[in-house]
Amino acid sequence: MKTSCNSWSYHRAFAKKKMDMFGWIEECARLELDGVELLGDHFPSKDRSFLRDLKKACIDRHLTIAMVSAGGHLTTPDDAKRKADVAEIGQWMDIAQYLGAPLVRFFCGSGKELKAGGKELYAKVLAAMKKVAEMGKKKGIIAALENHGGTTADQLLSLRQDVNSPWLAFTLDTGNFPPTSAVGPETYASIERCAPYAAIVHAKFLNVREDGRDDDVDWERIRGILMKAGFRGFLSVEYEGKNPDEIGNMRRIAKYLKTLR
């Protein structure tokens, strides 16, 4: 397995203008990570000149661009909004293609909305996801669906089966199965069920110890699940702890993360 970081791990620093994409890339290189996950929310521009400089910054620091992360809310009842979200995911696929990233993360939306919407909404979400997977196929990009918004393993696996495309895989977030950002009774079972279809893993860290381990998450257990599933991709850290010292926490996490490879 390889190590990476989602820029969301530094979202406070980004929000306060204490860090930008280039400073973050420099920090990832300092941490000796293998790659970076570029979050669309942190792009100040989609202009080709910026993208070129971003790509060069990663090349110069020997950092693989593991994934470009888009959003999406396909479970919305607003058909026009869903259509616009699919188009925006396509734009991020164009960007990923230019940057040389093999994956684009996207969201299905709300697990509760998907359940409440019944067969009618499910059919609309399914059609939208088929379009996303087809766009990925045309561009040579894997559409990596994340278990975001309270979506369950049952929902993800059902959608994957019904989309029925080799160009759809999972961004498996270890902390996003209900209850979100916490370890619940089905967390490890859900990870195990979805791990065989993971293109990348969001390594969620919440309460970081001095040695980089997490008080809440059993990462040795998760590593065993991933190894059993034959996962050899990126562990991309998402630090979402309450401690505002993102830089300090990430430095501890990065050191520990290397022991999981």
Whole-number pLDDT of residue 182: 82
Structure letter (DSSP) for residue 169: E
Q: How many CB atoms lie within 10 A of CB 45?
A: 11
Domain hosting residue 114, numbered range: 2-260
**Residue range 162-206, pLDDT digits in tens:** 999 999 999 999 999 998 888 888 999 999 999 999 999 999 999
- CATH number of the CATH domain containing 179: 3.20.20.150
Encoded amino acid at 164, one letter: N
| Residues in the chain where the model's pLDDT stays below 50 | none
Burial class (CB in 10 A: 0-12, 13-18, 19+), 133: buried
Domain count within the chain: 1
Whole-number pLDDT of residue 243: 95
Whole-number pLDDT of residue 63: 98
Encoded amino acid at 148, one letter: H
Encoded amino acid at 191, one letter: I
pTM attached to this predicted model: 0.95
Instruction: Tell me the three state secondary structure of residue 69.
Output: strand
